[in-house]
Amino acid sequence: MERLDAFMARANAAYYAARDPFADFTTAPEISQVFGELLGAWAAEVWEAMGAPVPVLLAEAGPGRGTLMADALRAVGQTAPAFAAALRLHLIETSPRLRAAQAERLPAATWHDRIAELPPGPLLLLANEFLDALPIRQFIRRDGAWRERFVADGNFVERSPSPDCPPIGETDASPLPLWAWAAKQTKVGGGVTAPEGTVIEHPSAALPLISALAARIAAQGGAALFLDYGPAVSAPGDSLQALRNRRPADPLAEPGSADLTAHVDFATLAEAARAAGADTYGPEPQGLFLARLGLFQRTGMLARQNPGRMEELRAAAARLAEPDQMGRLFKALAVCHPALPMPPGFAE
């Protein structure tokens, strides 16, 4: 028996080490080259707002095949040569299989297992569909109290919270305010106590990561941009899911054979980033964010240059931005040094 976050970490580590994840799902950089190009332009503009430091770390967390960064660097080389000369490329990736694929496209990169291993200095971090794969904890309301979900033999087992945690509702002073956060979730819908069977999820891996990253950005300068899926406002619900062969699968069955993800709790992560001294912008719907960066203008330019691909390019842009596709469920969240102005793509 193991806690859900431990199970999820073990399963995803095995999955990414042994399987080609793109046989099971497709991400925005694989849908359209414009996605990476726009994020490269975003990084270049924020670098200018930082005072154009030289050198500057340009990092990506969860870089997949290296598609996003390859598109970003191509665009930067054409439109922002000073930024291209100043950046030092770093990739956060634990899978040897994916590192090999990234090295073919990005041979000048330096690789790390964790964001915390990045060298010091001003930082620009891009992360697309990275947070959703980080382990979570789940709690379920039973008999007027919260019980934690563990995994045993392919099934959930409900137990009293782990011995390392105080009773739910108590507030501790740790960097992971689990119980302070959980206490707020005991009431939903205008003060009504959460009903029997309500599930709440805690971003147990993402919270310390965001807190440490925000503290670093506040102290050393820079910004981080996260694009992922989840609600703009924290809400109860079981969002754990698995994909195998591009179809939904049982997330507890055959660990390591499917990609396990959960919705990102953007509000909780943004609150943690601000508590660590950074400013945050968003979460903003991905469709609006990309449109403000010029998604449709750039797509139109490519379509005119490649008339035979016009419908393909327009369909790809629609998939990224339309509300009934990726445009609303996916969000953009920026974590920035307090001295920086509002970054591109966001609005008051």
The answer, yes or no, to whether residue 189 has pLDDT greater than 60, is: no
The answer, yes or no, to whether residue 195 has pLDDT greater than 90, is: no
DSSP 81: H
pLDDT > 70 fraction of the chain, expressed in percent and rounded:
90
pLDDT value of residue 193: 66
The answer, yes or no, to whether residue 177 has pLDDT greater than 50, is: no
Amino acid letter, residue 30: E
The answer, yes or no, to whether residue 182 has pLDDT greater than 60, is: no
Structure tokens belonging to residue 338: 């307090």
Contact residues for 206 (Cβ-Cβ < 8 A; gap 6+):
131, 134, 264, 265, 269
pTM above 0.75, yes or no: yes
pLDDT 10s digits, 11-30: 999 988 887 777 677 899 99
Residue 248 contacts residue 155 (beta carbons within 8 Å): no
- Integer Cα distance of 75 and 163 in angstroms: 51
pLDDT 10s digits, 247-282: 899 999 999 999 999 999 999 999 999 999 999 999
The answer, yes or no, to whether residue 293 has pLDDT greater than 80, is: yes
Q: How confident is the model at residue 241 (pLDDT cuts 50, 70, 90)?
A: very high
Average pLDDT on 184-191 reads 49
- Integer Cα distance of 25 and 180 in angstroms: 35
Average pLDDT on 284-304 reads 97
> Which residue ranges form the domains of the chain, and what is each CATH number?
9-134+204-336 (3.40.50.12710), 137-202 (no CATH)
